[in-house]
Amino acid sequence: MSKENIKKNEIVLYKREEDYIPRIAAIHDLCGYGKCSLGVAIPVLSAAGCDVCPVPTGLFSNHTAYPTWYMHDTTEILNDYLNTWKEIDIDVDAIYSGFLGSDEQVEVIKSVYKTYPNALKVVDPVMADHGEIYPTYNDDLCQAMANLASEADILTPNLTEAAIILGEPIGEKWGGANIDDDEAHRILNALLDHGAQYVVLKGIQRDDGIIRNFVGGKDMDIVELSNEFLPYMLHGTGDLYASALLAAIMVGKNLADAVEFAGNITHDAMIVSSKQPNFQDRGVNFESLLGQVTNLLI
């Protein structure tokens, strides 16, 4: 898709006042080792001049790609945690959710939506990838996440997550390979029909050395953006992608340009990460690239 065509779809979802610092409720887990979730969202969004207000959905010793890990589910503290925000009369400009620890947490997020009805609702439905559901997820939690997806202003699933949301069987195609444009458009439109206002369908891989992301909404055409496919997987790249996407939106970039930025910085971070020891275990490294995020403010 040419830049000229992209400019026909300049959907701006957040208009930022010059000196204003937007506040984002980041509803994600906190992982001690292995860069992901809040460990990605906080620095990336902060580099874009945002005030990140974390709401931890779970505490992990390390990410779940390791053979052993510890998780503490924070569901029981969340209502008191968030009710205190209401008591001190704070406000937020965006509500950005990712990995959830239980299906009850979806109702917690919906209550946050009601408390802050004008906030931009961004749902990264972190629950599966490459045809496999994450080990802490069960059917109830997957169904609850699918329900939450219907209320998103921006929804950012990969193909496996799209299958779960749409109630379609997770077959070979949902692993990410060999989806043609027509099928990608069908899936994206089905997610819009499910209720999301805008959808970014991530990580479509083919055999041509390119990875594709598709973005569309009810008042814009579907736009395809692409990057070089790198033949290795890193934990946390989805969190980096969604956080960089939101960072670009919160500085006032249009949606297609934000998708392009997210794809580019995730690609670059994967290259940086590949130069680190045990890089496929330790997760994505993006720290040296945060200047790219800060430059969005210029």
Distances (CA, A) of 102 to 40, 49, 52, 61, 150: 21, 31, 23, 18, 18
Calpha distance 227→169 (Å, rounded)? 28
Q: What is the pTM of this model?
A: 0.95
- Within 13 Å of residue 68, how many CA atoms lie on the same side as its CB? 0
Count CB neighbours of 195 within 10 A. 15
Calpha distance 136→193 (Å, rounded)? 28
292: its two tokens? 């790219």
- Tell me: the pLDDT tens digits for 156-168? 999 999 999 999 9
For the cut 70, the answer to whether the pLDDT of residue 176 exceeds it is no
177: its two tokens? 């390979």
The proportion of the chain whose per-residue pLDDT surpasses 70, expressed as a percent, equals 94
115: its two tokens? 């408390």
Task: Please check whether residue 245 is in contact with residue 215, taking contact to mean a CB–CB distance below 8 angstroms.
Answer: no
Task: Please check whether residue 26 is in contact with residue 46, taking contact to mean a CB–CB distance below 8 angstroms.
Answer: no
What is the per-residue pLDDT for 170?
Answer: 81
The proportion of the chain whose per-residue pLDDT surpasses 90, expressed as a percent, equals 87
- Tell me: the pLDDT tens digits for 192-209? 999 999 999 999 988 889
Q: Into which CATH architecture does domain 26-289 fall?
A: 3-Layer(aba) Sandwich (3.40)
What is the per-residue pLDDT for 17?
Answer: 92
| Average pLDDT of the residues in 2-10 | 51
For the cut 50, the answer to whether the pLDDT of residue 155 exceeds it is yes
Give me the residues paired with residue 283 across strands. 35
- Tell me: the pLDDT tens digits for 212-264? 999 999 889 999 999 999 999 999 999 999 999 999 999 999 999 999 999 99
Residues in Cβ contact with 20 at an 8 Å cutoff, skipping those fewer than 6 apart? none
Q: In the 8-state DSSP scheme, what is residue 276?
A: S
Under the banding of pLDDT at 50, 70 and 90, the label for residue 173 is low
What is the per-residue pLDDT for 49?
Answer: 98
What is the per-residue pLDDT for 9?
Answer: 67
Give me the residues paired with residue 211 across strands. 205, 227
Residues in Cβ contact with 135 at an 8 Å cutoff, skipping those fewer than 6 apart? 64
Best CA proximity match to 27, nearest among 16, 43, 38, 11: 38
Cα dihedral 235, 14, 260, 194 in deg (nearest 10): 70
For the cut 60, the answer to whether the pLDDT of residue 3 exceeds it is no
Residue by residue, DSSP assigns 34-100 as: SB-THHHHHHHHHHTT-EEEEEEEEEEEE-TTSS---EEE-HHHHHHHHHHHHHTT---SEEEE---
What is the per-residue pLDDT for 172?
Answer: 60
What is the per-residue pLDDT for 206?
Answer: 86
Instruction: Check residues 3 and 109 and name the one with the higher pLDDT.
Output: 109
For the cut 70, the answer to whether the pLDDT of residue 5 exceeds it is no
Q: What is the largest CA-CA distance in the chain?
A: 54
- Tell me: the pLDDT tens digits for 52-106? 999 999 999 999 889 999 999 999 999 999 999 999 999 999 999 999 999 999 9
Q: In the 8-state DSSP scheme, what is residue 173?
A: G
* Extents of the domains making up the chain: 26-289
| Average pLDDT of the residues in 166-185 | 79
Calpha distance 214→176 (Å, rounded)? 13
| Average pLDDT of the residues in 116-145 | 95
What is the per-residue pLDDT for 23?
Answer: 98
Calpha distance 80→292 (Å, rounded)? 37
